[in-house]
Chain A
Amino acid sequence: MTAPDRALCSHCLLPIGRRAMQGTVNGEPCIFCCYGCCIAYQVKNGKTEEWEAAWLLIRLGVGGFLSMNIMLFSLLLYTDAFSGADAEMLPWIHLLLWLFATPAVIILGGPFLRETWLNGKEGRLTSSALIVLGVGAAYLYSAFAVIERGPNVYFDTASMVLMLFTVGYYLDAVARARAARDLQPLLAAESEWATIVDGNAEYRRPVREVGAGTLVRVRPGERIPVDGMVKEGESHTDEAVITGESRQIAKGAGSHVIAGSLNLDGPLLIQSSGAANVTRWAQICRSVRDALTCRSPSQRLADHIVGAFVPIILMLGVGASVYWAQHLPFDRALLIGLAVLVVACPCAVGLAAPMATSLGIGRLARRGCLVRDPAALEALARMRLIAFDKTGTLTSGEARVVAIDTDGTSADVVLAHAAGLERHSEHGLARAVVAAAAARGLEPMASRDVRVAPGRGIRGNSDGQTVAAGSAILMRELGWSLASSLAKRGRLCEATGHSVIYVGWGERVHAVLSLDDTPLPEARATVEALRCRKVRAILLTGDLQAAAQRIATAVGIDSDDIEAGLLPAAKRAALERRRGNHDMVAMVGDGLNDAPVLAGADVGIAVGSATDLAREAAAVVLPPGALWMLPWAIDVARAVRAIILTNLAWAFGYNLIAVGLAMAGVLQPVLAAAVMAGSSIVVVLNSLRLERLPEPAASPVPEQCSVLATQIAPEPRSTAVPINNKALQAG
């Protein structure tokens, strides 16, 4: 088990605070954030043969029996059933109530007393101290009243307050567990069990003990615990936890499966390809757990307030009692003080943020978006300026042949010659040429004696003549003639940021290939969707101004919002400069170069193939190829923030009004306890509204923007295509 301050509650998966409760359920050590979770977890998971779970229920049942009887007898007292002739019965009834109340208070109040004591030893006052003090005062006063034969006893108040708090905490915990449902599959990587097949024997082991090469059996409905290959069986799997896309993928013998995917309909025998604790699922699990245990700034503030809350309420309660004692009988004044103590609800303040945050983080993580900590979520909601890196973020990051200008030779012949050479090279541009030839179904020319001229190009022999593909420098070195129209075309393309490859054979340059990075198909819609969310998108790139301009036009970023030719360090400075009056800025990047600027932004967002270092610098990681999820992630973050703010407003408003009413003597203590129990349930239910957020749509553009987007969208393609067509016509 992790250290207590970094652990999550076994039941609701919220970070446990200082008031952790530990226990053993079904032989597993468990840790709970509150008494309510302790009850709810045991009710839900306690096995029949488990004595501890049954014992808890028995205690609660007997406590309930006693306090309900106290309530019923008190009901008779309140209706004056023992007035008149039966008046001499009254002390005996009081005594009976005392007999009932003593075990009830011990049984129901025990956990609160224990918590108060444990915290008190460390010099902290928690909300349970309020309950213990209030209930203790009511009980002791009533006990004295029985001995002194006083007219009124308040055992019913004492026991009902305890019962209401217990039931309230329980209901609270039950509702909170719904938040944990989203997180359960993500956190299961640590606690899942795997069925290991060893010869004819099958046995269950914790998944962390599974190594490479182990055979694992996965039944339908189970999660696949390891990365590996299917040896036997056919089924469909759902990889939503890892890739963010929920769809059925057919798997048969020989297919690869990834850890964390759900086996849907057939048993599979899988050979693991690596240790279980290095899978992406395990990484996601660790990252989500870390995120959940972090506290956001607003949460820390709320915790401080809760810390100061209890002493203030104590003083108010005592003050109210003292004040009213001068105007009312002592027992009434005591009850008013008691109402003040039990109506104040620091739980609502304490719960305002964590519940919503973990729902949000779980929601995002289920679609593969990882958030490092709650602060990142908060910053994501507040940011109004987002800077994009160009290569690999807004673009595919892979060059593509966008134009072929020839001296009259057929473009196909040129490509066949070039591909014949370039297939011997590993260079990115070379791969683009080979891909372009393959896309047209061309057979690359056979080449011999292929040599790479580093930084300049490649040359070889084909059909007895030298063939070369590379820069203008290579062509000059070879002393080949270059038609002025082709040279001009090449210079123009270079000036606009294209990569250029000259292709020649037979002592002559025959063609110029222009290569360029292409914007991702979803980039434009994403930028548009961000604009709809009042987020300004800017482009920071190390590339040439012209290339940046072209991509910016294609994706819909204004030309004022481009900064090109930036070194990695300068990107960070540029972002600071652009910050202006935006208090939060985000940077979306990919690759090593972006690590400093990702770390420098308030939220660094890495997309998919982000390298490990970038991932360290980034606070939010989107799954591979999921730039389109960015607007949705912002929506989730904003919804979380809105919920937290309404929760805090409710919690403070409630406490202000309720404590005010209680001090004015309007609230009965039992009613006050009921209202208090309800108040934190309101916070939980409000947070659960996050469950109703829409799933990310494949097109992130909302309705009102989509019309605009589709009108503009075709334009960038149309500039690229004519060049291609012209080239083909020329050829």
Chain B
Amino acid sequence: MSAYLIIFFAGFAGSFHCIGMCGGFACALSRDPQGRGATVLRHLLYNTGRLTTYCFLGGLAGAFGQVICTPQGTTVPLLSGPLDTGQRILAILAGLLMMAMALQFFGLLPRLHRITTSFGAGTLAASLRSLLAAPGRAAPLAFGVFNGFLPCPLVYAFAAQAASTAEALHGFLTMAAFGLGTFPALLLTGGVGHALAPAWRQRGVWLAGSCILLLGLVTVGRGVLPFAAHFAHGWPGGHPA
């Protein structure tokens, strides 16, 4: 369970990074003329849409990992259990990807950052703005759904983590934990986003980077270390599901 807690925490810390892009959207979404309750509802719908997309991506990534790793359908819980070769390779790849994403948070690998954040986002983001102004309850929900698909290194990192679980359900739970972690910050953004000092945001981003780096190292470790089960004992991840 604690593995998911770590992911949740990483999501929470990482959401300070989200304030940059998604936070901008959340702010734009902010007030509803029909009063405070309606505003909160708008934000809840927006975040629900986003969370759904993350969960879906997680499930998809997990299923993808499952397809390429365990054709027999044997499931391996997160961060423990014996691993076959395919899973090891997947874990190493996912871990490396996560570490690369983490390095971005420290301002390293600027070129990779450009690639990951500019991947077709411009057109989509621009057209999505039309949804922000649209009235009704459906618009924020739809907006959240699309928002979840916008390229973001944080999402890539956790999607990689989800894929490395090589199981649809665990992938889903991984991304769900991450998505829930980003909930509070983005819910608050509408109100306190402006008040949050840039210095604090920077600290949050570093913290998220550290968490992702740690998770990446652990994931690579699962692939590299010969006695993964042994390693898992030192890691109180156990059987989360």
Give chain A's interface residues, CB within 8 Å of chain B: 42-44, 46-51, 53-55, 57-62, 64-65, 68-69, 71-72, 75-76, 78-79, 81
Contact = CB atoms under 8 A, between A and B. Distances in A.
B36 to A, nearest CB: 24
Interface in B85-142: 123-124, 127-131, 133-134, 136, 138-139, 141-142
Contacts of B131: 54, 57-58, 61
B223 interface: no
A120 B55 CA distance: 39
A59 B169 CA distance: 28
Given A43-B124, A55-B134, A58-B131, 8 more contacts: A42-B127, A48-B133, A57-B131, A58-B136, A58-B139, A64-B146, A65-B52, A68-B53
Contacts of A61: 49, 131, 138, 141-146
B130 A53 contact: yes
A43 B7 CA distance: 34
B124 A68 contact: no
B172 interface: yes
A339 B31 CA distance: 46
Contact of A65 (B133, B141, B168, B169): B141
A23 to B, nearest CB: 15
Contact of A68 (B133, B145, B168): B145
Contact of A69 (B52, B130, B133, B142): B52
Interface in B145-179: 145-146, 168-169, 172
B231 interface: no
A62 B145 CA distance: 8
Nearest to A47: B130
B68 to A, nearest CB: 14
B204 interface: no
Contacts of A58: 131, 134, 136, 138-139, 142
Interface of B: 48-49, 52-53, 55-56, 59, 123-124, 127-131, 133-134, 136, 138-139, 141-146, 168-169, 172
Contacts of A43: 123-124, 127
A46 B56 contact: no
Contact of B128 (A49, A57, A78): A57
A68 to B, nearest CB: 4
17 contacts: A43-B127, A44-B123, A46-B127, A46-B130, A51-B134, A54-B130, A57-B142, A58-B131, A58-B136, A60-B142, A61-B142, A61-B143, A65-B145, A69-B52, A72-B55, A75-B172, A78-B168
B169 A48 contact: no
Nearest to B57: A68
A224 B72 CA distance: 65
B98 to A, nearest CB: 23
Contacts of B145: 61-62, 64-65, 68
Contacts of B138: 58, 61-62
B168 A79 contact: yes
Contact of B169 (A44, A51, A54, A76): A76
B127 to A, nearest CB: 5
Contacts of B129: 48
Nearest to A44: B123
Contact of B130 (A57, A64, A78): A57
7 smallest beta-carbon distances between A and B, as pairs: A61-B142, A68-B56, A58-B142, A54-B134, A61-B145, A54-B130, A43-B127
B56 A79 contact: no
Contact of B146 (A44, A55, A57): A57
Contacts of B134: 51, 54-55, 58
A102 to B, nearest CB: 16
Contacts, number: 83
A69 B141 CA distance: 13
Contacts of A47: 130
Contacts of B53: 64, 68
Contacts of B172: 72, 75
A44 B126 CA distance: 8
Contacts of B168: 75, 78-79
Contacts of A79: 168-169
Nearest to A55: B134
Nearest to A79: B169
A61 B137 CA distance: 12
Contacts of B128: 57
Contacts of A69: 52
B49 A54 contact: no
Contacts of A71: 56, 59
A50 B141 CA distance: 19
Nearest to A42: B127
Given A71-B59, A72-B59, A72-B172, A48 B130 contact: yes
Contacts of A42: 127
B125 to A, nearest CB: 11
Contacts of B139: 54, 58
B52 to A, nearest CB: 5
Residue of B55, B145, B168 most packed against chain A (CB within 10 A): B145
A706 B91 CA distance: 55
Nearest to A45: B127
B140 to A, nearest CB: 9
Nearest to B62: A75
Contacts of B144: 61, 65
Q: Which of A51, A55, A57, A59 has the most CB of B within 10 A?
A: A57
A244 B56 CA distance: 50
B228 to A, nearest CB: 23
Contacts of B141: 61-62, 65
A68 B55 contact: yes
Contact of B56 (A54, A55, A62, A72): A72
B127 A65 contact: no
A63 to B, nearest CB: 9
B133 A75 contact: no
A263 to B, nearest CB: 26
Nearest to B56: A68
A61 B150 CA distance: 13
A75 B55 CA distance: 11
A58 B136 CA distance: 10
B142 A65 contact: yes
A533 B136 CA distance: 63
B43 to A, nearest CB: 16
A50 B59 CA distance: 35
B32 to A, nearest CB: 16
Contacts of A59: 142
A118 to B, nearest CB: 26
A731 B49 CA distance: 94
B65 to A, nearest CB: 14
A388 to B, nearest CB: 48
Nearest to A50: B130
B80 to A, nearest CB: 18
B142 A75 contact: no
Contact of B52 (A46, A48, A54, A68): A68
Nearest to A69: B52
A59 B128 CA distance: 13
A75 B142 CA distance: 22
Contacts of A44: 123, 127
Contacts of B127: 42-44, 46, 53, 57
Contacts of A51: 134
Given A58-B139, A61-B138, A75 B169 contact: yes
A160 to B, nearest CB: 10
Contact of A75 (B59, B123, B124, B130): B59
Nearest to B146: A61
Contacts of A68: 52-53, 55-56, 145
